Each structure stands twice: as C-alpha cells, then as structure tokens.
Amino acid sequence: MLHLRIVVPSDRAERALAVLEETPAVFNIVRLPNAARRPDGDLILCDVPREAASILVSDLEHLGIGEDGSIAIDKIDTEISRMGEAAERAAPGDPSNAVVWEEVEELTSEQTDLSATFLLFMALATIIASIGIFLNTPILIIGAMVIGPEFGPIGAACVAAVQRRPRLAIRSLVALAVGFPVGIGATYLTALLLKWTGVAPQEFSEASHSLASVISSPDFFSFLVAFCAGVAGMLSLTTAKSGALTGVLISVTTIPSAANIAVACAYSDWPSARGSLEQLGINIGSIFLAGILTLSVQRRIYARRHSAHLRALRS
C-alpha cells in the first residue's frame, strides 16, 4: 500500500479530487484547502494499492500537477482498514508483482551519480576480491560482490534504454566507464605493493589459485548465470523485493573479474587478464540484455493496463 501527498493549485483541486474519487482503488481521500505553500495550493492526501499507483499518478500528471504542484509517494508498512482491503481487490493485478514506475525511475536515478563514495566502494570491493583471489578464499570474493555498487548503474542503464532517457543512460554508462577502471587501477597498485613488500607471492600460479582460474575462463554458464541474475535483479528493483538483490549480487562475477584483471596485470599474466576481461564483458552484457528484456515485458503489461483504464474512463 502507498500513500500519496499531492499539492495541487486550487483551481485544479476539484479535477484532481474527481480523478481520485473515480478510481475505485483509491481511499482515505483528504483535502486541505490552501494548506500548501511553495508551491501554493491545496493539499490532498490519499492511499492506493501499489498495482494502481502508476496509473493514478499518470492521470494526475495529465492535469499538470507535476509542473506547478507536486506528487510525493510514501510506502505504508501496515494499514488496518476494511476499505483498504476492498481497494486492493478493486486494483488490477497482484500487489507483490506491481511495478511503480515513478519509484523505479527515482531509485535508479539516485544510483547513477559518479561520486567519490561510488568510486571508493568500487575500489574497496575490487581490492577485497583480489585478496580473496590471493588467499583462494571464496568468502572474501562473496563479500566483495555484496559491497560492489556496480549493479545500480547497470540497472539504471536498462531503465534508460527501455524508457528512452538518453541523459540517464549517459550518466549510467559514465559511472561504469569510470568506476571499473578506478577499481582495477587501485587493485593493480595494491597488488604491486603487496608483491613488493613480500606479503603476496613473487610468482602467481593459477594451479594453486583455483578461483582465479574459474574467473578467467568464461563459458556458456557465465552467460546463463549473468542472464538469470539480470532478470532477478530487475525484478527485485521493480517489485520492491530488495532481499532478492543480495542473491543477485553474489551470483555474478563482475567485481571478481575486475580484480583478477588487476592481479593478472600485476604478474604480467596476459592470458588470464584477457580471459577475465572477457568474463567481465560477458557478465555486463548479459545483465544488460536480461534487464532490458525484463523491463520491456513489464512495461508492455503496464501499457495494456493503462490502455484498459483509459477505455474504462471513456465508457
């Protein structure tokens, strides 16, 4: 269930109320005349199930509320209401599978900023993964996967491709294009330092480091795992099932591949570096493909529901 806080110019408040009252899934409608300042207008509150939220917001935006008013969406964790239960029955679809597109756009936009924090997380994740490669310890590899922030820009790029938002796409690709080299560069320098100080071995053999061998040997399963993870990742972002995202992050070897590139370069193991680069490309490409296909299907389903809603309003 979601709570909408709408600030609408007073001359359009009646039309906004009509939109809300004509939607069976909307309840707890409250209007406070002239209660809002900056922007000035009426404050309207209401609750709506997730599966009806994007359609309702689209109807409100047709009134121009997004231009000289505002629409805020908050999540309701618990609501005890018989009317709320009736509203959920009136809303089409399953609430657990509902996509609030405005929420997805806002979430992905926040994750594309090329900030010092993003670059620091990329560097730290890649360095931790390299230590896991040195020690041949899977738990460190998994930890690096979890803290790696790269899925945010990848997911945002998928959203940008489906919704044709070139600015978001550019921001996402720039974050990836800068983030991975920064992580690889920091890890390369760390590997050289560890090698120079004697903490890391002077010679690095894949025979005694099985994880490095697996990472640098991409195959069909690399594509399949990344594709499935891409589908799961986009579903977790769009359906508010954030718990599933952790499983996605530890199933794709983007960060370990970047770390192995750095380690292989530090030891002049060019075949391993090339294999790890191929693994990284396969993973990112597969996630992109899966994310775009998943979002396209979800967007088509939403478009059909929206068209049916508009036909119902005309009849």
- Residue 85 sits in which domain range? 2-98
Residue 30 lies in a domain: yes
Residue 312 lies in a domain: no
d(CA 51, CA 288): 26
pLDDT in tens, 131-160: 998 888 888 888 888 888 888 888 889 988
Residue 306 lies in a domain: no
Residue 308 lies in a domain: no
Q: Which of 41, 76, 98 is the last residue of a domain?
A: 98
pLDDT in tens, 36-68: 998 899 999 999 988 888 888 888 888 888 888
Q: Which of 66, 98, 130 is the last residue of a domain?
A: 98
Number of domains in the chain: 2
Q: Are residues 162 and 264 in the same domain?
A: yes
Q: Are residues 44 and 161 in the same domain?
A: no
d(CA 283, CA 225): 8
Q: Are residues 128 and 263 in the same domain?
A: yes
Q: Are residues 264 and 133 in the same domain?
A: yes
Q: Which of 98, 128, 146 is the last residue of a domain?
A: 98
Residue 82: which CATH number? 3.30.70.2170
- Structural contact between residues 45 and 29, judged by C-beta atoms closer than 8 angstroms: yes
Residue 209 lies in a domain: yes
d(CA 21, CA 287): 41
Mean pLDDT of the chain: 85
